Structure 1
Amino acid sequence: MELVKITHENLEKEHICCAIANNKDSQVTSKKSWLKGRLDEGLVVLSSKKKMGYLSDPKYMKYKGFETVDNANSYFELMYLPFSHETENPHFKQHLKEIKHNDSQNGFWLYYTNQCPFTAKYVPLLEEIAKKRSVDFQVVHIQAKDYNFL
């Protein structure tokens, strides 16, 4: 198997999604758009001390060279793989580190990026389900590194 380095020049023609073969699919185009903005920064993933549902597996991420650069609420870990050592490490904002579970507002909050191609399809579906069930549902689409994790 050949290892292909994704660059600004070849991103549009390369296959980047393990689950979707059609490059014209909205999920693939949203992932490529997200990736285009990250190629010069590095990759950031949300994890936890041990593998948890919907979070990246910390052992696998460490194996791939990611390192934990911040944590919040003794549950979430921010893992980072910089593409350059000239970039500042990402971090959680201080107020997120101080929130306790029972301090949360009612309803459901979803923070997401297009790192996962399936968000393009499933976030609108979740919004519709919440609306039908009268659940307070807030969506925060993180689109830039300098969002600094809220």
Structure 2
Amino acid sequence: MLRHPSRWFIATAAALLLSTAAAAQSTSPSITFKSPSQGWGVVASSNPLPYGKTASIIYSVDRLTACRGNINSTTPGWTITGYYQFNNGPVQYFWVAGFSSVPNPPAPSIPLNQKGTLAVWFENTNRWGCQAWDSNYGNNYVFNVQ
């Protein structure tokens, strides 16, 4: 005798699928810049990155160790700044690590408010005039936003 699935089972399975899909869509995108010990990898949580979301930037400060130094042994005399640009437009920036003139700066992130090409790169500077860059051998890290 062949039994048909109950309506309860079908409704439960459908609800589970919908909640799983909604959870996957609500996950915040991220871009991870791994440390040298992790192979210097750069990984986006999805390709393309989802338009309209905000991507968390997970940056290993071990990538830019030049230009370090502290003031009074406790205050960083250096800052890592992230830069980004959509479709060769205006350059925007955000604090990543080190000294910040703003108390409790926000976690590094990029609002994905434009579709197309997103370029990202990083700079470490210090109060003594040193400057170092993290880009893909002179080319910025590039991602697609759709």
Query: What TM-score range do you get, normalising by the shorter chain?
Result: under 0.3
TM-score w.r.t. the length of structure 1 is: 0.23
